[in-house]
Amino acid sequence: MSKQDGSSRQVTTGPVDDSATPILHVDMDAFFVSVELLKRPDLRGKPVLVGGTAGRGVVAAASYEARRYGVNSAMPMSVALQRCPNAVVLRGDYASYSSYSKQVMGIFEQITPLVEPLSIDEAFLDVSGARRLHGSPAQIAWTIRERVRAETGLSCSIGVAATKYVAKVASSRAKPDGMLVVPAAQTIEFLHPLPVSALWGVGRVTEESLTRVGLRTVGDVAEMPYDALERSVGPALAARLSRLANGIDPRDVHTTRTEKSIGHENTFGHDLVDPIEIRRELLRLSNNVAVRLRKAGLVGRTVTLKLRYGDFRTVTRSRTLGEATDVARRIYDEASDALAELVGDGERVRLIGVRAEHLRPSGSGSMLWDPDEEWRDAERTIDRVTAKFGTGAVRPATLVRPGGERRAAGSRTDPDDDDPAATAAAGWGW
């Protein structure tokens, strides 16, 4: 039995048939903010934002009190503070978030070995084999919520269903701090009244396309003739939406994740115009991507450059290599060639991103000769030096600026970027 309150929140409150619902989706509630409130309990009940405040900082997380003002993650902090001027803004503490994430994931793994983390604050669980020891799926979900609260002080919302897709939708409906079980026999009844935005793959643009042809709910999509849906959104998306709208999702919970791409991007505190500054940033990002590739034992066949101009136009360009690489010099050269096609004199650049795609394990290719052998050896030597003396001990000379600075003032980078003070430089005169 479930109930729906005055908002869209829907939770299970009594006995329910969970016999065919082995998939759980667990999502921590306002995770970053919740961790911060453990340290600042005086801020409970107040609108709280986590994110950058300088220049073009963005909201990493918002408390539910702040969300009532129309604030959400990824929103520019300046816009968020216009909507919610009384919000308290806290800087992110990613070390704490990672520590709590490991603790929460450890609780999941004590229940079932079939845990598929999606991000730092959410995961799928398959509890098919855990029933004898821990009870029914609904009982397991209840136990997880109680243990997470008791052991970490945090709350989570859980969806319980027959498939991953429905479980994820259910957890979002149960937020905050709730549990919703969708019996397998009631899957269609649950899905069809929901807006089309509840379907995976439907963003703002796709939603507008579906609305233009009269499709406003998941049920509308399910009932639309397939050929008409295909004409509206294309064959690939039509096939996926049709399956999901009818509750079909055959994917299993996978305990290992294969990275599809590795990338870094940077939004600057002020637009860059100087070509030297732009290429210096491109080199820094290319180097970060290459380091992560080597740490993961991967190489990438495609290099993608992302640019956002001062007027917010965003473009990407991809280049496929003859041989996959984990060498920063090769990644930089390809991204630099793409950059030359996109940035003219006086062009203002707001964001740069570099990404390696089409990844595979390093050493699995069939190269007869390696054109980047010398550069690869040099970069791996630097990897060993930085492992011993710390990131920043050695890096391309081009990245060393007077006073040890190495990125545009006021810039905001993705959380994976390290920023130690420079101590020395290698002779990479790129």
- pLDDT-derived band at 423 (thresholds 50, 70, 90) equals very low
CATH class of the region 31-94: alpha beta
The residues annotated with a catalytic role in the active site are: 122
Q: Average pLDDT for residues 58-79, to the nearest whole number?
A: 91
Could you tell me if 251 and 259 are in contact, meaning their C-beta atoms sit under 8 angstroms apart? no
For the domain spanning 195-245, the CATH number is: 1.10.150.20
Q: Is 382 exposed, middle or buried (0-12, 13-18, 19+ CB in 10 A)?
A: buried
User: Cα separation of 205 and 233, whole Å?
Assistant: 11
Task: Please name the fold of domain 261-413.
Answer: Dna Ligase; domain 1 (3.30.1490)
What's the chain's average pLDDT? 84
| Token representation of residue 237 | 């998306």
**Higher local confidence (pLDDT), 388 or 269:** 269
Give, in degrees to the nearest 5, the angle at Cα 302 between 299 and 304. 120
Domain boundaries, the chain: 2-28+100-190, 31-94, 195-245, 261-413
Please confirm whether the linkage preceding 176 is cis (ω < 30° from 0): yes
Task: Please name the fold of domain 2-28+100-190.
Answer: Alpha-Beta Plaits (3.30.70)
Per-residue pLDDT tens over the stretch 176-194:
999 999 999 999 999 999 9
Q: Do domains 195-245 and 261-413 have the same CATH topology?
A: no
| pTM (predicted TM-score) | 0.67
Q: Residues annotated in the binding site for Mg(2+), as ranges?
A: 27, 121
**Higher local confidence (pLDDT), 142 or 231:** 142
Residue 427, pLDDT above cutoff 50: no
Per-residue pLDDT tens over the stretch 98-136:
999 999 999 999 999 999 998 899 999 999 999 999 999
